[in-house]
Amino acid sequence: MANNVKELVTKLRPTLSLARYGKIFTDTTDFSNIDHGDVIKINNLHYVVIRDEVERSYGIEDPKYWVKRCVCLENGERYIIKLVFYENFILNLGVLKIKCYRSPEKEARILNLVKNDKRFMQGMPFKDEKGNSVRIIEIVIGKKLDDYIAKIEADHRTYFFECFPEILEKYIYACEAINFLHENNEKHGDIRRDHLWIEYKTGDYVWIDFDYTFDFYENPFGLDIFGLGNLLACYLGKGEISNIDLEKMSQTKELDFNITKDDYSLLYSNRVYNLKQIYPYIPERLNEILMHFTVGSEVFYETVDEFLLDLNKCLHELKK
């Protein structure tokens, strides 16, 4: 086999154009030194780095230097390679403090657990020569579900009656996927808007990114459940409803929505979950599900099973 990147590319993928021919890495410990044109050799295959991945949120680009967009020189397929990076932070949930942290080893376990389950991104974990957990991820060809919903050209009422029932049905299927993880004593760990995608070809909903986890002693899966509640609020509202959105709606429609502090999310303090105050045609039973996640709630979901039971009742009503 060739001893440098230029020889590798010439031999295995001569049509690939690179601005730089870098080094071959078998030790990925110092991921910040692995750049465009370098090659990661893992499991006897060679992956040339095209760029670092970037996380985009609210118009801000945040480079993820430990996540590389690559091309496999042997087969020409594109992959995302996730290298080992540890970080932790504290998340406040009401008066509770929850420790959240990255665990590449936990993501590797889940990739093995969900192999061939199309409700989840697919990939294979391997160890580099230093024992680092390197995850080779197949790229989901699609877009974030919230972006897809935001681009539906319809007012909210039309969206709710004509589009939301199908979205809710597929969302329930996605929630069952999270329940499957919990039944196997695993958690997603980072359920948020940019981690549930809709695949272009099939229309299936696909979970991505499993490398975060958390320690929540009051309920070991509680943060996943709150994440599911936040997604439901986003999809039901055709986007997140914040104080700024309320102010804009009030000005254009000259309405007083009678929102109190108890109507806001317990996890995200600026997001309104009592959506029936804004859209009165939302059924009471469906709105009541969201109210379990609010500041004013005295009863919270303990399991995804409980959440699913109420969701399915609402879906039945909407279909009628």
Stretch(es) of the chain classified as CATH 2.30.30 = 5-83
Pick the CATH number of 5-83 from 2.60.40, 2.30.30, 3.10.450, 2.40.50: 2.30.30
Quote the tokens at residue 196. 């549930």
SS3 264: strand
CA distance 192 to 18: 35
Place of tokens 């509202």: 237
CA distance 132 to 125: 10
Residue 165: predicted pLDDT: 97
Phi, psi values for residue 167, rounded to 5°: -65, -45
- Return the closest-CA partner of residue 33 out of 49, 47, 46: 49
Stretch(es) of the chain classified as CATH 1.10.510.10 = 142-319
Mean pLDDT of the chain: 93
Quote the tokens at residue 205. 């909903």
Residue 213 has pLDDT above 70, yes or no: yes
| Mean pLDDT of the 233-253 span | 84
Residue 255: predicted pLDDT: 59
Strand segments, DSSP code E, in 17-59 are 24-25, 39-42, 45-57
pLDDT, tens digit (0-9, with 9 covering 90-100), for 143-187: 999 999 999 999 999 999 999 999 999 999 999 999 999 999 999
SS3 42: strand
Residue 81: predicted pLDDT: 98
CA distance 83 to 288: 42
Residue 253: predicted pLDDT: 58
Q: In what order do the strands lie in the sheet with 88-93?
A: 88-93, 96-102, 212-215
pLDDT band for position 264 (50/70/90)? very high
CA distance 237 to 278: 9
Quote the tokens at residue 150. 């935001």
pLDDT, tens digit (0-9, with 9 covering 90-100), for 41-92: 999 999 999 999 987 765 566 789 999 999 999 999 999 999 999 999 998 8
Residue 199 has pLDDT above 70, yes or no: yes
DSSP string, 61-124: EEEEEEEEEEEETTT--EEEEE-----EEEEEETTEEEEEEE-HHHHHHHHHHTTT-TTB--EE
Domain 142-319 falls in which CATH fold? Transferase(Phosphotransferase); domain 1 (1.10.510)
For residue 166, give the H/E element and its range.
Answer: helix 164-183
pLDDT, tens digit (0-9, with 9 covering 90-100), for 281-312: 999 999 999 999 999 998 899 999 999 999 99
Residue 5: predicted pLDDT: 93
